[in-house]
Amino acid sequence: MRRRVVITGLGAISPIGNDVDEMWKGIESKKCGIDKITLFDATGYKTSLAAEVKDYNPLDHFEVKQARHLDRSSQFALVASREAYKDSGITPENTDMERCGIFISSGIAGLNTIQEQCETNYVKGHNRVSPMFIPMSIANMPAGNVAIDLGLKGESMSIVTACASSTHAIGEAYKTIKYGTEDVIFAGGTEASIRRVGIAGFENMKALSNATEKTRASIPFDKERSGFVMGEGAGVLVLEELEHAKKRGAKIYAEVIGFGATSDAYHITSPAPDGEGAARAMKRAIEDAQIEPSQIDYINAHGTSTHLNDLTETLAVKKALGEASTKVKISSTKGNTGHLLGAAGAIEAIICVKAMQNELIPPTINYKEKDEECDLDIVPNEPVKAKINIAMSNSLGFGGHNSSVLLRRL
């Protein structure tokens, strides 16, 4: 029997706000979280802009020793998960923690630690490499650290599918609860890759925007788009079986009603040019939700601001929704947050929840030049007041990973 899955808690730390409410206010006020890189000296790089988490001090959240033993990606995961835990009202008294899982993903995870320790090895020798190097850098440790911190003893996993990672985490959490394995799962993603080697790697593959004006850097679906802007942060949603949530009197934000995932099987970085893989993911989510495409009111697009992504996602939406693709409102909030890589899907799912709650469709900010090839109903620059009953969030990752999740207002 399929059990219904709802969202009962939210947590976030992002370039436009260090908690969910502050982040949503950033969306409402059309805040752009992109600015000059400060996490390292970017002199000599073609890339000068990123979307960093602002006003963040680890010691506001952790003791000195704990902060020193946590990569920035794990710190962000803990900050967001603690907020989601508090928001959900879950306690060991009202929830069996052995049936409470943790699915927190990352595209790269401990890149900061990897860079630091490789430099130590090169400069000072292998005997000076920290014994904490491995437990700080491996991709499962954000989930592991959150499980330890909150006492979550159910299934714990980290799905790594590049920029689709946290949408996969949400989708797999939804399926796991739906079929009865767990009652509650903390699902989402975290990323902290604004580092020399991270920027260099994406820059040299010509994926990043070289714009120097922050309002013309991350411009999804704009004809002048030239690449994405690296972001960082974490988003965590508490997914819960509906009757379990009702029994403990939880507030319910929305219901997860569908999930679809596919592979392009085409190229290590480029999406399939006709968007067929992403379209199949959307179709699978729609079939899983047992709805018609015309029932979708809003799509938060992956919309990275690269030429290929925005074009192929446009084609994919048309293939998946057919005639309904001309009527659904679409935006990309990466103009606000930059691209959080593996954490993007979780942040954007939270934005979808808040959009439904506040009856406000987020705009694609800094949009100026219409691209005739990206001819969907893009919401430009100003939010649109509208009741959203069903929202879709898309995420696409290097390697051809496609994922789509559908949320319904309750």
Report phi then psi at 36, rounded to 5.
-60, 140
Query: How many CB atoms neighbour CB 210 within 10 A?
Result: 14
Q: For position 215, what pLDDT does the model report? A: 97
d(Cα 297, Cα 161) in Å, to the nearest integer? 27
pLDDT tens sequence across 81-96: 999 999 999 999 999 9
Q: For position 198, what pLDDT does the model report? A: 97
Q: Is 20 exposed, middle or buried (0-12, 13-18, 19+ CB in 10 A)?
A: buried
SS3 per residue for the chain: CCCCEEEEEEEEEECCECCHHHHHHHHHCCCCCCEECCCCCCCCCCCCEEECCCCCCHHHCCCHHHHHCCCHHHHHHHHHHHHHHHHHCCCCCCCCHHHEEEEEECCCCCHHHHHHHHHHHHHHCHHHCCCCHHHHHCCCHHHHHHHHHHCCCCCEECCCECECHHHHHHHHHHHHHHCCCCCEEEEEEEECCCCHHHHHHHHHCCCECCCCCHHHCCCCCECCCCCECEECEEEEEEEEEHHHHHHCCCCCCEEEEEEEEEECCCCCCCCCCCCHHHHHHHHHHHHHHCCCHHHCCEEECCCCCCHHHHHHHHHHHHHHHHHHHHCCEEECCHHHHCECHHHHHHHHHHHHHHHHHHCEECCECCCCCECCCCCCEECECCCEECCCCEEEEEEEECCCEEEEEEEEEC
* Domain boundaries, given as residue ranges, for the chain: 5-247, 260-409
pLDDT tens sequence across 314-338: 999 999 999 999 999 999 999 999 9
pLDDT tens sequence across 122-139: 999 999 999 999 999 999
Mean pLDDT of the chain, nearest integer: 97
Angle between helices 20-28 and 344-358 (to 10 degrees): 70
pLDDT tens sequence across 179-214: 999 999 999 999 999 999 999 999 999 999 999 999
pLDDT tens sequence across 34-84: 999 999 999 999 999 999 999 999 999 999 999 999 999 999 999 999 999
Q: For position 11, what pLDDT does the model report? A: 99
Average of per-residue pLDDT across 356-378: 98
- CATH topology for 260-409 is Peroxisomal Thiolase; Chain A, domain 1 (3.40.47)
**Residues composing the chain:** 410
Same CATH topology for 5-247 and 260-409: the answer is: yes
Structure tokens at 331: 């935006």
Q: For position 1, what pLDDT does the model report? A: 66
Q: Give how far Cα 387 sits from Cα of 8, 257, 292, Å.
A: 20, 18, 18
Q: For position 32, what pLDDT does the model report? A: 98
Q: Are 256 and 239 in contact (CB under 8 A)?
A: yes
Architecture of domain 5-247: 3-Layer(aba) Sandwich (3.40)
Please report where in the chains the tokens 């939804």 appear, as a residue: 174
Q: For position 334, what pLDDT does the model report? A: 98
Average of per-residue pLDDT across 109-118: 96
Write out the catalytic residue numbers. 163, 302, 339
Identity (one letter) of the amino acid at 231? G
Residues with Cβ < 8 Å from 228, sequence gap 6 or more?
A: 202, 207, 208, 209, 218, 304, 305, 306, 334, 338, 339
Q: For position 2, what pLDDT does the model report? A: 80
Report CA 115 to chain centroid distance, whole Å: 23
